[in-house]
Amino acid sequence: MRGMFRYWIYLLVQLFLSNPNPARAAASIPPVVFPPSENWDGDDGQWSSFSLRLGTPEQVVRVLPSTSGYNIIAALPGVCNTTSNPSACISSRAGVFDPSKSTTWQEEGYFGLGIQTNLGYGSDNGDFGLDEVGLGIVANPNLTFSSQVIGGIVTDDFYIGYFGLGTQPTNFTNFTDPHPSFFTALKENDQSPSFTWSYTAGAKYQLTGVLGSLIFGGYDSSRFTPNNVTIPMSPDVSRDLVVGVQSITTTDSSGAQTSLLPSGGIFAFVDSTLPYIWLPVDACQAFEKAFGLTWNQTNEMYLVNSTLHSALLARNANVTFTIGVGKSGGETVDIILPYASFDLTATPPLVKNTTSYFPLKRAANDTQYTIGRAFLQEAYLIADYERMNFSISQSIFQSGAESNIVTIEPISSATSDQPPNSNQTPTSKSHSSISGGAIGGIVVAAVIVVIVICLLIWLRAKHKFPFRKTTVSELTAENVAGLGQTAMGPELPGSEAKPPAEAQDTALTEMEGYYAPKGGPHEMHDPTPAALELPTQESDVHEMFDESVYREEHHDTTSS
């Protein structure tokens, strides 16, 4: 009898020890590394793109990450119908998506793209629907999701499709049937360890061409220099990655340092959708003076002729952005951009003839201050939607460098890793609901209690166990210990489990963006045509990736 009692106690102890921290077990999912396509695409420069598989059967298109977008946007075949060489057009557009050839397409209708409306792109529309979407060119069922929102476009404003990294859901008719973004679907389907991503655009001009990097649930520590600046996300979900640009400086031709932000610091939104940097007019005039630039009113661009282009390449001046939380003061990080990061080439249909240009735009007001994709050639961005903060670090380029993928653990993990620059606890929007780890612990404890009670009742009924009015802690060694064994202590040893911090949920209702029209839908409107671009160039690249999406054996800095 006593042997049986000891056996059950042993099983209970093993049950408890086998799952001491359910949250940590759930946090063992590795990051998702989305490999670049090894192509350089675009009519506004050469940009490292990423491949997606859309529909059934799968149609492969290449897209560029959009930090402000939340849907998947791809060119429709009609965008090339009016060109003299449709096949060349389709190739220059990085592929097109034909919904009529997909058996799983669910039509929703035409809506506005709902992106960069404050920058004058509010009139762009798309043919929206739901369909299968997978990462990479090789099928992976774990990273392929149905009913994803896809918008087909026939506009030249977005020559290459984009892959939204935002968290906002899409509602087509009302607020009762939201469709999550792909980023959200990854986390909800337990394919990403945390509600985080990291991105750098890559740089064609560095080494032999350094490809971009996009990772969900982690980051590549070999790609940047960490710093101490952690920036809280803005409460406006349509412009959440807002930084304080405290200064912009360069060295003029005489060697003297020149301010390119003469009126002082500004707040700017980091948006990779387009390459441009929108700054105040006086800042643009300072750039004009420092680099000899001339504003082309027709194209609304700073076009660079061949003479000026040669002179600027020879001078090779750096531009330094000093970034912080506010417009002045506090911890800051310097992001240094060589002139090569501004030396971009525009091709038709963006311009009539291929020409060099400088990716600077004149902002009409402070709602347009934006730091675009050109900046992210030299910067590494980590966004953490659990802790509601992000960081920007200087990119580094080392020939032959090995990737070092590090997991960002969820905040529900008791020993969670934070991003490398994070020195804050989760900001606002924390919830008081019980986390998955706490629920798991409660379930285990409840099972133990129920089994103990049932065991005691069974022992009393079947074996006349002396059930006097004593507590379990009063049982003597003679009652509990077996022959030749040491008596057990008064209770099972344990530790006090503190409830972990709570992951923050993104609201599923559709919010009006601060810069969107009052009462406007967080949705979609109508179209336009297209044309040609530079052919893809084959070249050696800095780092080569398997063409399929893979999970990296990652380095977890969690301490046991």
Instruction: CATH number for 30-192+507-551: choose from 3.40.50.300, 3.40.50.620, 3.40.50.720, 2.40.70.10.
Output: 2.40.70.10
pTM of the predicted protein model:
0.74
Residue 518: pLDDT band with limits 50, 70, 90:
very low
How high is the pLDDT of residue 502? 39
DSSP E strands in 402-455: the ranges are: 405-407
How high is the pLDDT of residue 253? 76
Residue 449: pLDDT band with limits 50, 70, 90:
low
Burial class of residue 75, CB neighbours in 10 A (0-12, 13-18, 19+) = buried
- Better pLDDT: 108 or 414: 108
The highest-confidence range among 217-231, 459-473, 537-551, by mean pLDDT, is: 217-231
Domain extents in the chain: 2-24+436-480, 30-192+507-551
Would you call 16 helix, strand, or coil by DSSP? helix
Is it the case that residue 210 has pLDDT exceeding 70? yes
Rounded Cα distance, 364 and 367, in Å: 8
Residues above pLDDT 90, as percent of the chain: 62
- Better pLDDT: 36 or 517: 36
Residue 177: pLDDT band with limits 50, 70, 90:
confident
Which whole number is the average pLDDT over 257-275? 97
Q: Is the CB of residue 156 less than 8 Å from the CB of residue 528?
A: yes
Which whole number is the average pLDDT over 292-304? 97
Rounded Cα distance, 144 and 161, in Å: 19
Rounded Cα distance, 100 and 102, in Å: 6
In order, the DSSP letters of 205-261 are TSTT-BPPEEEESEEEGGGEE--S--EEPPS-GGG--EEEEEEEEEE-TTS-EEES-
Residue 256: pLDDT band with limits 50, 70, 90:
confident
Residue whose C-alpha is closest to residue 537's, from 37, 33, 35, 34 = 37
Query: What pLDDT digit, counting tens, does each position of 372-410 carry?
Result: 999 999 999 999 999 999 999 999 999 999 999 999 999
